A and B are shown apart, each in its own frame.
Chain A
């Protein structure tokens, strides 16, 4: 049977990446270096999920360490599907939103609802962890099955057609789905913050109020895409092949 697991589970299943890469190049024409998968796994670890075939005798269990209920790491089960997702780094409309870099399920494992489950898990994480307003993706205009999944099952809308989006000249539907309804009640979290702060104050003033300079502390999430630290410049660093995905713009410190 097939298990749907988070790539960044506890313990971590990051050792599935080579098999995810193989699943991708088995199924799809748009392929990437392993480093591009690493880049996703290490920048938005919450957003990617994997479908694996549970080994005959299950996973390692019964240890006393992490993963007492079952540990996929080190077992290298067969990967039959994955969703690789990210947050748009410099959203043109200024709204944080997610993007599906790649999704595929082996032909032999269709009709089990795997793709749908993978998508829903990723969407939820985008909303909860990154406050994504919506998620976008591209799909080949000829890919009826995928279109049906995105539009009919998941509720995506076609935003526009991008002509010659794919390397072989095919057009893509650019689709998106609103995610605000899945946002968490952050007001409640902040309220609890205030309650805790009050409680701590009452318990006594033993906090460390020191001289430490902390000018750089607490940059907001939305600033991550912008230039910071003087001395660091924006440099184009090409990690994945620009096939279906634009060049990555990453900050890179160059020696000065």
Chain B
């Protein structure tokens, strides 16, 4: 039962609330204790104290106290509200919603509780609940426009477009003094929002009509233009669409989407190159300094037309010394005829075949020099690129460019790239370091240099380079700042470098860091559920909500999810790796038990040594912090990472279960990624989950039925299913029978199947390799001249995985690729 407070304590309690609101947390706790000394069982005070504690980083203790508060006063809405807020902090949103609901039942009129509930419902995409909450809030304050807009958003996102539009219209009808002034952005945005809802119903006629009515007075001018052009084109109102896209291009002639729109509107067929070229030429004339209208025709022009156009384009850009010229051109190379034309033209410029040049004057000579260096630079990139690779020529050209212009960062950078493609990450990192030294104040080149260190598995050197541009005094130093600034690229590269070295603890640590950054990004939307309503930019808000729902489809996520899954698979197959990299091949690779134990002991010792170093560092920092009282400005205490080496992660009891955390969103949002499906199979088959494993196979098969990894997995699945000792449940067996039959029929002779796969793919190293691997043979790849160094590296890794002696293989590879370092064993 609630304890009544005397009036003095009551005013003290109100002060606790004030303290909390003003973030005077320590004061708040003191005041609360004052109340509790006389009223030890006062639930509301206990709850407020718990809430304050949670803001001081004592969430666990706060929960204990909040539960006690509830026991003392089950009927207090404050206690339930606080309980919900604590759950929210813990990100247990379902429980938080329940607690808020209790609180609201006890105090149905409370605006703050209603609002907190609504925000969470939105965060959890409980649209029906959100509609209810928003309806209640609208009833409480119907004069506020944002309450109407919010209800419309609730209906819209729940899929009820009609109701959403109706709510917006109802509000518009209440504007009795006519429409708000032109400068009223909230109104303008609400109108445009309604317009996009109408368009979503599919009734574009009505959307266009509505846009004509409101568009002239909307503040977002460009949006109105883009909407209009899109509607007109979809409606097939060609001549108006043409006008609309022309208007857009006049604002911004560097957007290929607008050109597409214009061409569709004009109805120019894709094959009418002449008409297309004429159209682009017109825009070149209007914007002589632009790039798009010059560049796009190179995509469709052929033969002599192409040659002329690309010649003019190349010469112009080379004279200007545009560093991105090659990046702009290389997409043409999937057409080998175009690639050859470009190559012979540019080689020709070197031998003086460029149009108007060299007029003898000093200035002319200077220009000519610049033209020549740009040309060497172009050729260096050209011969590095995979579709036109000749690394010897690449090196010659880059050296000439550097000779003429030794201070140019780009040229030195390209030299490092050439070494990278030689399969020599050691030299690549060294050359990139030289590039960095040419401009130490430029972060871009610093970034590259750090990345190349990581590619060479030099994690510490990479981090050290990063420290030149980070705040190193933050908790956790450089690495801490990179985490705080969400530097996804670095954490990913760092993780992959650790994975290559089989340092699984650290690799997992970094993969998890990126995973957590994605969680933060998802959490980030929370504040905007209220913020955006105040700002009125509701279209952008709705776009954000929809984007958040597919956040993890981002390639940044795909990459770390694939990496983490590989790390967990490795850990599952070779549990010894939990103690760090094992020198002579861990368990499961055919090494004698005695050697294995020796290596394991050594690894464990090394692990302990590293842990000791970290804990010493931690103690030193703690001591320093105690002296300097290093609390950050906003009063929140930043905790030291208790497991900087990822040892807790790597010593998991169930690596496959942990892998699922990464894999599930991956399979859901990147279902079209064949590597994801193949990895999914690897995890499921190890868990003996045959149905999901088969689902991955079917998905992979639908993407690319001849994928080499899939080929191996089909065989593995067949053999696994055939050799099962315990019968599967009837239903599962039936599904597998019918579904797998489509991929690899039971009646199929497996050897014939493998042979026909081999003959169908006899020009691809990876495919042949797969066919050989079905017999557990490493095929001598040299027989196919197209073999790449990357493919040879994969084969080498496989040899070590099998525990075979790779020496002979590595020697042979070294001879074939003499500039490489990756085949030097030690």
| A→B interface (CB under 8 Å) | 1-6, 8-12, 14-15, 18, 21-22, 25-29, 31-35, 38, 41-46, 53-54, 56, 58-59, 61, 64, 66-72, 74, 76, 80, 106-113, 117, 121, 124-125, 128-131, 142, 167, 184, 186, 189-190, 192-193, 197, 207-210, 212-221, 224, 233, 238, 241, 250-251, 253-256
Contact = CB atoms under 8 A, between A and B. Distances in A.
A252 B430 CA distance: 51
A74 B176 CA distance: 43
Contact of B324 (A31, A109, A117, A255): A109
Contacts of A125: 221-222
Contacts of A4: 252, 254-255
Interface stretch (B224-232, B608-616, B690-698): B224-232
Given A27-B443, A219-B186, A238 B634 contact: yes
A210 B180 CA distance: 17
A68 B186 CA distance: 28
B57 interface: no
Nearest to A22: B489
B185 A221 contact: yes
Interface stretch (B212-220, B499-507, B803-811): B212-220
B306 to A, nearest CB: 16
B756 to A, nearest CB: 31
Nearest to B23: A235
A26 B17 CA distance: 44
B486 A34 contact: yes
A199 B447 CA distance: 62
Given A33-B485, A34-B521, A12 B327 contact: no
A213 B176 CA distance: 10
Contacts of A31: 485, 487
B41 interface: no
Given A27-B443, A33-B485, A255-B116, 17 more contacts: A3-B292, A4-B255, A6-B222, A8-B543, A15-B550, A18-B556, A22-B488, A26-B447, A29-B443, A31-B487, A53-B327, A68-B230, A107-B409, A117-B252, A207-B173, A208-B174, A213-B143
A129 B257 contact: no
B785 interface: no
Interface in B165-210: 173-176, 178-187, 196, 199
Given A4-B252, A56-B334, A111-B323, A106 B444 contact: yes
B540 A42 contact: yes
B233 A255 contact: no
A59 B469 CA distance: 35
Nearest to B558: A76
Contacts of A44: 537
Contacts of A29: 443, 469
B322 to A, nearest CB: 5
Contact of A108 (B255, B290, B323, B488): B323
A210 B484 CA distance: 53
A69 B256 CA distance: 9
Contacts of B144: 216
A9 B441 CA distance: 35
A216 to B, nearest CB: 5
A1 B223 contact: no
A74 B669 CA distance: 11
Contacts of B260: 58, 61, 69-70
A42 B541 contact: yes
A108 B327 contact: yes
B487 A218 contact: no
B539 interface: yes
Contact of B176 (A64, A107, A214): A214
Contact of A193 (B196, B217, B230): B217
A67 B469 CA distance: 40
A206 to B, nearest CB: 10
A64 B233 CA distance: 10
Contact of A3 (B116, B256, B539): B256
A143 B793 CA distance: 43
Contacts of B662: none
Contacts of A216: 143-145
B257 A59 contact: yes
B237 interface: no
A184 B221 contact: yes
B176 A210 contact: yes
A218 B184 contact: yes
B729 interface: no
Given A112-B291, A192-B217, A3 B255 contact: yes
Interface of B: 17, 21, 81, 112, 115-116, 142-145, 173-176, 178-187, 196, 199, 216-217, 219-223, 226-227, 229-230, 233-234, 245, 251-252, 254-258, 260-261, 264, 289-292, 295-296, 320-324, 327-328, 331, 334, 409-410, 441-445, 447, 469, 471, 484-489, 520-521, 524-525, 527-528, 530-532, 534-535, 537, 539-541, 543-544, 547, 550, 553-556, 634
Given A34-B521, A214-B143, A216-B144, A15 B547 contact: yes
> Is chain A's interface secondary structure helix, strand, loop, or mixed overall?
loop
A108 B410 contact: yes
A33 B486 contact: yes
B112 A70 contact: no
A68 B241 CA distance: 12
A22 B323 CA distance: 21
A117 B252 CA distance: 8
Given A27-B443, A108-B324, A254-B21, A14 B254 contact: no
A14 B143 contact: no
Contact of B544 (A42, A68, A224): A42
A197 B327 CA distance: 55
Nearest to B218: A129
Contact of B175 (A26, A121, A124, A217): A217
A175 B40 CA distance: 61
A15 to B, nearest CB: 5
B289 A35 contact: no
A26 B488 CA distance: 11
Contacts of B555: 76
A167 B471 contact: yes
Contacts of B142: 212-213
Contacts of B185: 129-130, 221
A111 B537 contact: no
A41 B535 CA distance: 12
A115 to B, nearest CB: 12
Contact of A189 (B178, B182, B324): B182
Nearest to B451: A26
Nearest to A219: B186
A20 B772 CA distance: 44
A217 B223 contact: no
Contacts of B257: 3, 5, 59, 69-72
20 contacts: A1-B295, A2-B291, A2-B328, A3-B254, A3-B256, A10-B230, A14-B547, A22-B489, A31-B487, A42-B532, A43-B535, A68-B261, A108-B444, A121-B251, A212-B143, A216-B144, A216-B145, A218-B186, A218-B187, A221-B185
A210 B322 CA distance: 64
A5 B292 CA distance: 13
Nearest to A11: B543
Contact of B553 (A74, A213, A233): A74
B161 to A, nearest CB: 14
B221 A218 contact: no
B220 A129 contact: yes
Contacts of B187: 218
B531 A250 contact: yes
A107 B445 contact: yes
Chain A to chain B: the 7 pairs with minimum beta-carbon distance, closest first: A69-B261, A12-B543, A70-B257, A45-B540, A255-B112, A212-B174, A208-B173
Nearest to B186: A219
B234 A64 contact: yes
B143 A215 contact: yes
Contacts of B550: 15, 74
